[in-house]
Each structure stands twice: as C-alpha cells, then as structure tokens.
Amino acid sequence: MTTALQVFFWASVGLIAYVYFGYPALLFLLSRWRKVQSPLRRDDFEEPTVSLIIAAHNEEQVIAQKLENSLVLDYARDKLEIIVVSDGSTDLTPKIVRDYRDQNVLLVDLPQNVGKACAQNEAVKETSGDILLFTDANVSLQQDAIRRLVRHFQDDAVGCVIGRVTYTNEAETGVSQAEGIYWRYELFLRHKESRIGNLVAGSGPIMAVRHCIFESLDPGISEDFVLPMKAAIKGYRTVYEPEAVSEERLFQVTAQDMLKTRIRTTTLDTRSVFLCRAILNPFRYPLHSWGLISHKILRWKIPYFLIVLFIVNLLLADHPLYRLTMALQMVFYALAVVGYLWQEKGKPPRVLGIPFSFCLVNLAALVGVALFVLGKKAGQWSPIRGS
C-alpha cells in the first residue's frame, strides 16, 4: 500500500514538474534544432487590405482613445477599415463611436449583450479586408503593429499571426503583478512554440487571421484559442510576432475579479478544445496535439493533481521525507494566503506574489474545468476595467 502511495505521490510531482518546467525546457531545446520561419521579404508582395475589428461592451472610458490610436496606425488608409461592434453597450460607447463616422469608422450596434464571439461574428459580416485583425478596446497598438503582422502572410502556409501583449502598471497591485509574472511565462512558451510550428493559443488584444479561413464562432468559445486551432486543422500555421506590440494598462482589479475572469476563460477554453478535438489526433497533428496537451490540458488538470498530492502526502506523513514535503506544501499555501491578505495593503513582495498567483490560476482551472464538465455556461462577456 505504501509503495502504491509513493508511486502516486511522485507521479503527481513529476507531472506538475513536467508542465511547468519540463515542457518549457523541451520547447527551448527543440526551438534550437527545428525552426519554422516565414519568408518575410518578397518583391512581389503587396500589402493586403485589413479589417480592424474592435469588440466593445460598455467601454466609454477607453473607446475614444482606442479609435484615436487606430486612426494613426502606420498602414495605408485605403487598405484599412475600422469596425467597432458594440455588444449591447448601455453606456455612451455607441455615441462616442458615431462621432468618428466621418473618419470612416463603422459602428455595428447590437441591441443586446450576445457575447464577444457572437459580436465578432456580426462585425465580420461587415468586413471586406483580406485580413481580419481582432483587437480589444482597452489596448493601444504600436504604430507599426499591422505591418509587422501582415508581412507573415507572404507565406501561404501562415493562416494566423498573433502579436505581443505588454502590460503597464501605473499603480501596480498584487493582482496585476501576478498577472504580469504569469504573462511573461506565457510569452516565453508562445515564442518557442512559434519557432517549431506548434503555437496553440492566440492573443485576443492583437490577432490577425486570413478572412478566407474564418468560420463563424460558436458563442461558447474563446476566439483567441479557437482561431489558431481552426487554422491548424485547415493546414495553416500560426505565427507569433513579438515586434507587433499592443499595450494594455492593468487596472486595480481585485483578486475576486481576476478569479472570475480566469474561471470564465478556462471554461470557454475547455469548450473550445472539445469543439476542436480533432487536433488532439497525434497521428495527424503530432506537434499540435503534444503542445495543446502539455501547454493547456495538463495545466488545467494541475489543481486536481495538487489535491491528490496533498492527500497522498498526508497518508505518507509517518515517513520523515514525506513530513518534509508536507511541511513545504503547507508553507507554500500559507504564503499564498498571506499574499492574498496583503492585497489590503497593496503590492505584496514577490515571495508572496508568486504563490498567490499560482494558487489563483489553479483555483480558476479547478472551477472552470468543473463548470465545463457539469455543462454550466461560462457567464456573459463583461470586461473588467477596474478603477
């Protein structure tokens, strides 16, 4: 019995270590050996027409700034159309957008909040660009972002290109600090996955896709997750372009707000994988199935393995080694609790922020996956902008 428990314990430790350390290490090694690159310079390449799609729900605080940013992007104005889809906004968002109609900004004003994916479907119906560029209302694109993205479409094998999302913390809190730590780790994975050709997730604030491969989005999915998978299923590659930059300001959101957002995202992402489950076939999509399982699916299961690890560790606590591992777990979770309580005072030190971030992400995964299994909806799209 003890031997079986020890096997369970170390198998759980090994899986957790693989997800957070082993998979990144393998990506790093593979990216040095296998590099899939696009031909970025071709004399006969003519820059395509681009439809910039901005989904907005009650964005009166930021929508004018977003439009001003969009109108000065370094791209031929006759090749760029700007479309704002207001998803049942009850504030001044539609009115503010209408003030820009003389600058050829098109408003799609939906009377009800139908969700981001459905709103984007409605916006796409009004587009004529060769490339669809999805972005969020609360981010600013650097002036050359569109050029940086579309140059990859010189390669006929590229179907989707995502940019780099950066964060600015004018009044950094523990929650925003935790988000920044998590995102830097995520960008490392995306950069290496792009290098070997198995990038499995997009970036909602800056993501371009060929219009010809776009399919109407299911309302219960995450578009920045589904579009790269759909592209891969159709035989196209997704590329990460770190020089195409969007900047997002992190507001002073609470831990509860961030948890709610992550639960919703995990539920949508899990459903997205279910709908695109063909990509999990390792014989047809070996790299993508490996990347998706390692990067996302196993990570969503981490909280369940953490629970198993804790329970098994309790059952083995009569051994000195396992008393030590139990003590380490208790200290880690205690630091996470202190990090959470520290939010009342401001930004916690990193020794508290990392355990807090880890537990927040895994609690969201625990609940999000459970909601999907139980057939519960993820909740309506309502961006959190804080204060």
Which residue matches tokens 């709103």? 119
pLDDT score, position 387 = 47
Place 49 in a pLDDT band, splitting at 50, 70 and 90: very high
Alpha-carbon distances of 285 from 140, 196, 250, 289, 294, rounded to whole Å: 35, 13, 36, 6, 14
Identity (one letter) of the amino acid at 68? E
Tens digits of residue pLDDT in 301-341: 999 999 999 999 999 988 899 999 999 999 999 998 888 88
User: Phi and psi for 310 in degrees, rounded to 5?
Assistant: -65, -45
Name the token pair of 205.
């604030």
Q: 206 has which bridge partners?
A: 135
- Of 343 and 83, the structure prediction assigns the larger pLDDT to 83
Alpha-carbon distances of 370 from 97, 148, 379, rounded to whole Å: 39, 39, 14
Place 249 in a pLDDT band, splitting at 50, 70 and 90: confident
Place 258 in a pLDDT band, splitting at 50, 70 and 90: confident
Name the token pair of 86.
């207001």
pTM of the model: 0.86
pLDDT over 60 at 176, yes or no: no
Nearest to 209 by CA among 220, 191, 223: 223
Query: How would DSSP label each residue in 228-285?
Result: HHHHHHTT-EEEEEEEEEEEEE-----HHHHHHHHHHHHHHHHHHHHHTGGGG-TTTS
Cβ–Cβ under 8 Å, residues 207 and 190:
no
- Of 222 and 142, the structure prediction assigns the larger pLDDT to 142
Tens digits of residue pLDDT in 99-137: 998 998 999 999 988 888 899 999 999 999 999 999 999
Place 51 in a pLDDT band, splitting at 50, 70 and 90: very high
